[in-house]
Amino acid sequence: METKPIGAIVSVPAFEPGRGGGHLTRCAKLTADLRAMGRQAFLFLSTYSEGIDKLFSSMNFNTEWLVKEDGLRDIRADIECIVLDYFRTLPQEFARWKKIAPVIGIDEGGVKRDSFDFLVDILVPQKLSKPPANITDPSLLKFPPKALIKKRKADGILRILVSFGQEDPAGFGPVVANALTEKNYADMEITLLRGGLGTGNRGIDVIPNLAEYLGEYDLVITHYGITAYEALYAGTSVLLVNPTRYHEKLSKAAGFYTIGSKFFHAKGKTINIFFVSLRLCSFVRNKNRINSLKKRCKDLSVRYGLDKKSGISLATLVNGLSPIVNRHCPVCSAGTSGGSVARFNDRTYRRCYKYGIIYMDRVCPPPIEYEREYFFEKYEEQYGKTYIEDFPNLMAMARLRLKFIKGIREHAIERGEFYFGNVTSDNSFLPLSPTVLDIGCAYGPFLLAAREEGFSPVGIDPAEEAVRYVQRELGIPAVHGFFPNGSLLGLPASYDIITLWYVIEHFRDCVSVLAEIKKLLKPGGILAFSTPSFSGISGRVSLKRFLERSPGDHWTIWSPKTSVRALALAGFKVKKIVVRGHHPERFPLLGKFAKSKKSPVYWLLLAISRIFRLGDTFEVYAQAEKNKS
């Protein structure tokens, strides 16, 4: 398989006035970290200001990594994915970036959230992660090594850091600091950190690598955001004062202790200073509350894995991405649906709004190669025997399938729908026995059964060893390659039957595959394939669990109903559907009583499964229709 070249990653933060500086800081760090890993990365800013320049200077951020509108056009062809850290992305903004490359959302809370190709929630708690993200993990924040965290002095002084981000649009920092310093407690030391984007004069400037110094404090007072988690990592207690109800909602869902937001307003116009002073001073002077808060924060640190050494960072995660995303349904070419069916760490599933096929987008190519291991070790893990050891069973199944194919073909011949005359691509003649092309033939059980039934079979498969086995051990023509790109030179130019047994789901682009099959089939020829079904009992009980267990190289998930519609679009008329893979033990409630064939419940549920076609796999037998003139 060809290796996809690694492209550029563009990070796009929210940085307009009132949005704070956390998004900008996070994207700048992400860009710098990706650059340090050798990845081509850029930070997109539509405008630039003195405050931003000051922030970049404190971070030692190289402004040559910035890209604006004009520069974006120059690198557009090289962009592999877009990282939007935009808080709540507007639909028109999302549509703009989606046209350029796959879009990764960081802590996205907008109406287009579920349209993102991949979602990473770092600061959005799992219970509020709706629709669910692919990954929800606060430990993705970049933390310094534990050894670099400065330690607090044991001198009896309660050291408190007040920090409300780069911008502090509500003006909470000075209010909170004033409320605490007015009492002038001798055993308390208050530090107000002024953000780089703020306009106030009080407080100290930005502390570079703040996370390394949070361990010097006993308490950090901030709003819900990155600093709160950095404090947990440093082993410092956190008390939150939130500017908005949304921040308050996030705080409670994450488990932090918060003063409350109903007395505060984002514009900072009606802050009740008396209440702030009363609540905060009462809290910090109460040793029981401080000790209780310390225990709570320690428990939170363990819950989020922040008590351990720093793990994988956001930059490491993003650097490993090489998204494979469908712009259209891979079976019918219709536009993609708006929302996802399910999301997992490495993939997102969507449903075609037109024909109902479920298809997969991946953040990286599937780590599966179709060689010896696939048919031996992997096959044995799933079925308890290797592919070769399972050959007799596979042959028996092939004979059943050939019986259906023969019946359909005989009816077609009676109606005069078959056209004969077998000629190879190099103009040599073949006998008039029905020709069969088995795509994904593996080690050839279907080919061997077809030859025994009087057919002239040939195969194609990407596994080179399997093809050699078919050629040398079975004496059947076969070629090595990926259909439809593999060469069929020397094989028949057209076929009576083309089959794909548990193969069609492995194609990312079924439109071109079905079109090529239609071209290779004689008028009235038969297409037959088998594939897993999402409408079986497993998918009905829990579609999410069914998809989670679906192999990582199954790009499309079909059902009997959707296959009829999709094949009609491709020029095939379905003649027969056989539902298989019945599992009475997978039924809810009664399934636990149907694990043995000796149980009457087993046979009852098996009958229900067959009547209502609830098997987890199915076979389709379709006939190629004549092209309309």
At 296, is the secondary structure helix, strand, or coil?
helix
Which DSSP letter does residue 5 get? P
Q: Distance (Å, rounded) from C-alpha 227 to C-alpha 213?
A: 11
- The proportion of the chain whose per-residue pLDDT surpasses 90, expressed as a percent, equals 58
Is 346 inside a domain boundary? no
Q: Which of 55-64, 203-212, 547-556 has the lowest mean pLDDT?
A: 203-212
Is 370 inside a domain boundary? no
Domain shared by 105 and 205, yes or no: no
* Boundary residue ending a domain (303, 332, 357): 303
The per-residue pLDDT for 273 is 54
Do residues 213 and 193 lie in contact, with contact meaning Cβ atoms separated by under 8 Å? no
Q: Distance (Å, rounded) from C-alpha 165 to C-alpha 222?
A: 8
More confident residue, 222 or 165: 222
Q: Distance (Å, rounded) from C-alpha 441 to C-alpha 439?
A: 5
3-state secondary structure 583-604: CHHHCCCHHHHCCCCCCHHHHH
Domain shared by 106 and 253, yes or no: no
Domain shared by 472 and 551, yes or no: yes
The per-residue pLDDT for 244 is 79
Q: pLDDT tens digits for 243-285?
A: 778 888 899 999 999 886 554 544 444 445 566 667 788 888 8
Cβ contacts of residue 38 below 8 Å, gap of 6+? Answer: none
Q: What is the mean pLDDT of residues 337-349?
A: 89
CATH number, domain containing residue 575: 3.40.50.150
Q: pLDDT tens digits for 487-525?
A: 777 788 899 999 999 999 999 999 999 999 999 999 889
Q: Is 246 exposed, middle or buried (0-12, 13-18, 19+ CB in 10 A)?
A: middle
Parallel, antiparallel or unpaired: strands 8-13 and 79-85: parallel
Residue 353 has pLDDT above 80, yes or no: yes
Structural domain of residue 196, as residue ranges? 146-303
Q: Distance (Å, rounded) from C-alpha 479 to C-alpha 487?
A: 8
Taking CA atoms, 118 is separated from 99, 133, 250, 319, 576, in Å, by 15, 8, 21, 14, 38
The per-residue pLDDT for 196 is 56
Residue 440 has pLDDT above 70, yes or no: yes
Parallel, antiparallel or unpaired: strands 41-44 and 66-67: parallel
Taking CA atoms, 510 is separated from 157, 191, 496, in Å, by 69, 62, 20
The per-residue pLDDT for 53 is 82
Domain shared by 610 and 498, yes or no: yes
Q: Distance (Å, rounded) from C-alpha 532 to C-alpha 516?
A: 22
Per the structure, the count of domains in the chain is 3
Residue 431 has pLDDT above 60, yes or no: no
> What does residue 35 show for φ and ψ, rounded to 5 degrees?
-60, -40
Name the average pLDDT for the chain.
Answer: 87
Give me 1's structure tokens.
């398989």
DSSP assignments along 401-461, one per residue: HHHHHHHHHHHHHHTT------BBTTS-B--SSPEEEEET-TT-HHHHHHHHTT-EEEEEE
- The proportion of the chain whose per-residue pLDDT surpasses 70, expressed as a percent, equals 89
Helix ranges (H only) for 457-578 are: 464-469, 510-520, 537-541, 543-548, 560-569
Crossing angle between the packed helical segments 22-36 and 50-59, to the nearest 10 degrees = 40
Q: pLDDT tens digits for 27-38?
A: 999 999 999 999
* pTM for this predicted structure: 0.87
Domain shared by 388 and 537, yes or no: yes
Q: What is the mean pLDDT of residues 573-588?
A: 96
Q: Distance (Å, rounded) from C-alpha 78 to C-alpha 37?
A: 18
Length of the chain: 629
Domain shared by 283 and 152, yes or no: yes
Is 544 inside a domain boundary? yes
What's at 514, amino acid-wise?
L
* Boundary residue ending a domain (106, 138, 170): 138
Q: What is the mean pLDDT of residues 526-551?
A: 97
In the numeric block, the tokens 């402004």 are attached to 63
Q: Distance (Å, rounded) from C-alpha 206 to C-alpha 570?
A: 62
The per-residue pLDDT for 423 is 46
Is 291 inside a domain boundary? yes
Taking the alpha carbons at both ends of the chain, their separation in whole angstroms is 38
In the numeric block, the tokens 């009132």 are attached to 18
CATH number, domain containing residue 161: 3.40.50.2000
Is 315 inside a domain boundary? no
Domain shared by 586 and 481, yes or no: yes
Residue 332 has pLDDT above 70, yes or no: yes
Is 309 inside a domain boundary? no
Which DSSP letter does residue 304 get? T
The per-residue pLDDT for 600 is 95
Q: 608: closest CA among 626, 576, 586?
A: 586
Domain shared by 117 and 47, yes or no: yes
Q: 483: closest CA among 466, 500, 465, 502?
A: 500
The per-residue pLDDT for 17 is 65
Domain shared by 165 and 68, yes or no: no
* Boundary residue ending a domain (138, 173, 197): 138
Domain shared by 112 and 22, yes or no: yes
Domain shared by 189 and 132, yes or no: no
Is 367 inside a domain boundary? no
CATH number, domain containing residue 71: 3.40.50
At 619, is the secondary structure helix, strand, or coil?
strand
Domain shared by 106 and 168, yes or no: no
Q: pLDDT tens digits for 447-502?
A: 999 999 999 999 999 999 999 999 999 999 999 999 988 777 778 889 999 999 99
Which DSSP letter does residue 628 get? P
Is 263 inside a domain boundary? yes
